């Protein structure tokens, strides 16, 4: 078989944006990590990780949000490569190129999605080197969102992030994502929640299959993102953003994802999500807006 030219990646992995449609904080562990119950979906926008074979190990970042990150050993892609290599007992070589399309520290799991993309890519490069359970342990050690991002399809996330149950959505769903260009540190928002004396959300029942948009709406209207209130206190733009999205034509539901500051609106058609993006009144210089499809 002919070898591909140097400018064609051997493997490419998408790193889709993660959206917490709700996020219930149901308890706190002795180590300070919070117990969660979140309905999570993934969108067709995201970062991309390309792999080019070669001697030595190299990592580069390109794309619209590359400037916000260092391509150093602390990057979640490098941490994922290191951890995979150690746990699988392999020596990883080659050039990894991350195209950073998602805003950094924005509640849509960018870094976690990148780490998960690196783990999926390495699993293709070294098939069978790590069993599924071991891979999930490695994923969790990189971040609470990484096990969910490994799956990158709609799911229920519980425990501190590692208990994953697939949830099937039986209908197409579209999303508008809006980020005000203000980064939010996740640990700080959980800290603010704790300091507020917040009472934990009760357990809830969640079906494994959601048949209609109305059923999804009824689930979301009876739930919330418990991090939204502390995030709104730190970033007052969030409340206005949710109100604006909720008022756009065709918007079924609007809220904040993760620890913020990205907010989202759900739509029944891509046309409605796109025209909602066009109708946002925000300053497009600072804001990041994306209309897309739920995977």
Q: Which residues are catalytic?
A: 18, 145
Query: How many residues bind ligand CDM, per CB under 6 A?
Result: 17
Site string for ligand ATP, 63-82 (x = CB under 6 A): ------x-----xxx-----
d(CA 289, CA 136): 32
Query: How many residues bind ligand ATP, per CB under 6 A?
Result: 18
Q: Closest approach of Cβ 165 to ligand ATP, in Å?
A: 19
Query: How many CB atoms neighbour CB 198 within 10 A?
Result: 16
Of residues 159 through 198, those in contact with ligand ATP by CB under 6 A are 186
| CB nearer to ligand CDM: pick between 189 and 280 | 189
Contact between 99 and ligand ATP (CB under 6 A)?
A: no
d(CA 129, CA 131): 7
For ligand ATP, the binding residue among 9, 258, 265, 292 (CB under 6 A) is: 258
Q: Closest approach of Cβ 261 to ligand CDM, in Å?
A: 12
Contact between 190 and ligand CDM (CB under 6 A)?
A: yes
d(CA 8, CA 121): 15
* Pair 208, 161: CB distance under 8 Å: no
User: Segment near ligand ATP (CB under 6 A), from 104-112, 120-128, 233-241, 280-288?
Assistant: 104-112
Q: At what angle do helices 110-125 and 132-142 cross, to 10 degrees?
A: 150
Contact between 255 and ligand ATP (CB under 6 A)?
A: no
Q: Closest approach of Cβ 237 to ligand ATP, in Å?
A: 16
Contacted by 69, from ligand ATP, ligand CDM, none: CB < 5 to 8 Å by type: ligand ATP
| CB nearer to ligand ATP: pick between 115 and 248 | 115
Q: Closest approach of Cβ 268 to ligand CDM, in Å?
A: 25
- Residue number of the CB closest to ligand CDM reads 143
Q: Name which of 120, 56, 66, 138 is nearest 97 in CA terms.
A: 66
* Pair 102, 65: CB distance under 8 Å: yes
Q: Which residue has the tokens 């603010």?
A: 192
Residues flagged as binding site: 103-113
Residues flagged as binding site for ATP: 103-113
Residues within the interface to ligand CDM (CB under 6 A): 20, 23, 33-34, 36, 38, 112, 143-145, 160-161, 186-187, 190, 258-259
Residues within the interface to ligand ATP (CB under 6 A): 69, 75-77, 104-112, 114, 145, 186, 258-259
């Amino acid at each position: 078989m002919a070898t591909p030219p140097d400018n064609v990646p051997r493997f490419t992995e998408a790193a889709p944006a993660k959206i917490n449609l709700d996020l219930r904080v149901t308890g706190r562990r002795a180590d300070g990590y919070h117990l969660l119950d979140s309905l999570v979906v993934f969108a067709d926008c995201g970062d991309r990780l390309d792999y080019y074979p070669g001697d030595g190990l190299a990592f580069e970042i390109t794309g619209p949000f590359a400037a916000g990150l260092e391509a150093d050993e602390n990057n979640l892609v490098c941490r994922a490569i290191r951890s995979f290599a150690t746990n699988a007992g392999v020596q990883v070589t080659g050039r990894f190129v991350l195209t950073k399309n998602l805003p950094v520290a924005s509640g849509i799991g960018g870094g976690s999605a990148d780490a998960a993309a690196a783990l999926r890519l390495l699993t293709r490069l070294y098939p069978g080197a790590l069993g599924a359970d071991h891979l999930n342990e490695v994923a969790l050690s990189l971040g609470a969102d990484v096990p969910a991002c490994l799956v990158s399809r709609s799911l229920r996330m519980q425990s501190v992030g590692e208990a994953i149950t697939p949830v099937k959505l039986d209908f197409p769903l579209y999303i508008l994502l809006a980020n005000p260009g203000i980064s939010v540190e996740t640990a700080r928002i959980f800290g603010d929640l704790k300091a507020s004396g917040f009472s934990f959300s009760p357990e809830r029942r969640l079906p494994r299959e959601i048949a209609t948009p109305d059923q999804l709406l009824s689930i979301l209207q009876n739930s919330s993102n418990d991090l939204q209130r502390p995030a709104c206190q730190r970033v007052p733009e969030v409340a206005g953003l949710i109100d604006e999205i909720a008022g756009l034509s065709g918007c079924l539901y609007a809220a904040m994802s993760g620890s913020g500051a990205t907010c989202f609106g759900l739509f029944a058609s891509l046309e409605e999500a796109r025209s909602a993006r066009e109708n946002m009144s925000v300053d497009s210089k600072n804001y990041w807006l994306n209309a897309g499809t739920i995977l």
